[in-house]
Amino acid sequence: MSYSPRVKSQKARLSGLLRAAAAARKNAYAPYSGFPVGAAVLAGGRIFAACNLENSSYPLSMCAERNAVGKAVAAGNQRIDAVAVVAGDGPPAAPCGGCRQVLSEFCAPDAPVVYASASGRSVTTDVGSLLPDSFGPANLPARDRRRGR
């Protein structure tokens, strides 16, 4: 079976992101849920990987996806080109709703997302499919700069 060069590069890119996400998952701090997650994003031609970080005060926990986006943004990137997540041993686990919203802030709707289980089963989709009709900057009113709002 032959693929176009774009498909080959996308498959290779997503494969590299999955490897980075799987490696980051090994460092997850998940003593409460026992559900380690690793995520990697491609931004500015670089891979930024992170893991989930739980806290005994559960709402203070941080998802791997948001941590990876934060690393990319801290490095000066405001556009995420692709995303990979590795979580769980059973069926692949998609990003949670909060992470989907954060991804939609930094990704184009057609940005590829692959999520996989530790056993290697994966699903490939895009940000727009994960969060159709998302709320974003275009939904906010223009600021009135004369009034400082």
Residues tagged active-site: 65
Helices (H) and strands (E) in the chain, counts: 4, 5
Q: How many CB atoms sit inside 10 A of residue 134's CB?
A: 17
Contact between residue 48 and residue 72 where contact means Cβ atoms under 8 Å apart: yes
| Alpha helical stretches, state H, the chain | 5-25, 64-74, 97-106, 127-130
